[in-house]
Amino acid sequence: MLFMEFALWLKGEVDRSSLNVTRVFDVFAERYDAWYDKPFGKSAFNLEIACITSLYKSLKQPSLEIGVGTGRFAEVLKIKYGIDSSVGVLGFAKKRGITVIRGKGEELPFLDKSFGAIFIIVTLCFVDEPIKVLEEASRVLRDDGYIILGLILRESPWANFYMRKGSAGNVFYKVARFYSLNELEAMLQKTNLKITEASSTIFEAPTEKPLRFENPRKGCYKNAGFVAIKTQKRR
């Protein structure tokens, strides 16, 4: 029944609101993970990793990734714990050596102030309540810890590129929602988080060809294909 539902959805006969992100990643986990081994996916991943690691100074353990997916980022960034609502992707993450927990970012099953570093990489665009996810991340973060966000801003030409792919039937971008920098800053304000540092990468025009490597630029550029933002609790 589930596969029939997705088949109808891809034909445009089922409304997006009748499905949820967890089902998408459960059904298409293998396809999602394989994207990172394709020429474009591999090149984009390397650029995003370089961007995130440029913000690594002063990060403390233990670390957690909310929306760990198949564990690609957690494995390379040496993030020990990962949580995701999709059983399908968690199987891949576990094989990559991540200690995985099934759960939602809106209801983290951890004690207050449990982690020194928390990563939310290309995840806010897939959750139902991004503010609640940020509130929960702040709750389980130590007072001296940092939250690193990885995302594509809505102002970026890459966001429009991906949204068009979603409209054309891409199962992942069909359920994604991109936020503007102003929207993100408002969410951080509401959750008592402040930006301490940012880094940006992928300044090429949108393409499906492999991307050339470039060093990340310090700061948050709205036209970048990927931005990493380091935040901490307001004191």
pLDDT tens sequence across 57-76: 999 999 999 999 999 999 99
In the sheet that 217-218 helps form, which strands lie side by side, from edge to edge? 99-102, 81-84, 63-66, 115-121, 141-151, 226-233, 193-201, 217-218
pLDDT tens sequence across 113-165: 999 999 999 999 989 899 999 999 999 999 999 999 999 999 999 999 988 98
Residue 11, in any domain of the structure = no
Q: Supply the pLDDT for residue 169.
A: 76
- Look up the domain containing 118 and give its range: 20-233
CB atoms within 10 A of CB 15: 8
pTM > 0.75: yes or no: yes
Question: What is the C-alpha to C-alpha distance for residues 232 and 90, in angstroms, rounded to an integer?
Answer: 27
Question: What is the C-alpha to C-alpha distance for residues 163 and 157, in angstroms, rounded to an integer?
Answer: 10
**13 vs 30: which has the higher pLDDT:** 30
How many structural domains compose the chain?
1
pLDDT band at 31 (very low <50, low <70, confident <90, very high): confident
Residue 228, in any domain of the structure = yes
pLDDT band at 9 (very low <50, low <70, confident <90, very high): very low
* Whether 81 contacts 75, CB under 8 Å: no
Residue 25, in any domain of the structure = yes
pLDDT band at 174 (very low <50, low <70, confident <90, very high): confident
Residue 74, in any domain of the structure = yes
Measured on CA atoms in the order 227, 228, 234, 235, is the torsion positive or negative?
negative
Per the omega criterion (within 30 degrees of 0), is the bond before 109 cis? no
Residue 13, in any domain of the structure = no
Supply the CATH number for residue 141's domain.
3.40.50.150
Cα–Cα distances (Å) from 80 to 23, 30, 72, 102, 155, in that order, read 25, 22, 12, 15, 33
Residue 200, in any domain of the structure = yes
**28 vs 207: which has the higher pLDDT:** 207
Residue 10, in any domain of the structure = no
Please name the residue that has the structure tokens 């990172």: 36
Residue 24, in any domain of the structure = yes
Percent of the chain with pLDDT over 70: 92
pLDDT tens sequence across 40-56: 999 999 999 999 999 99
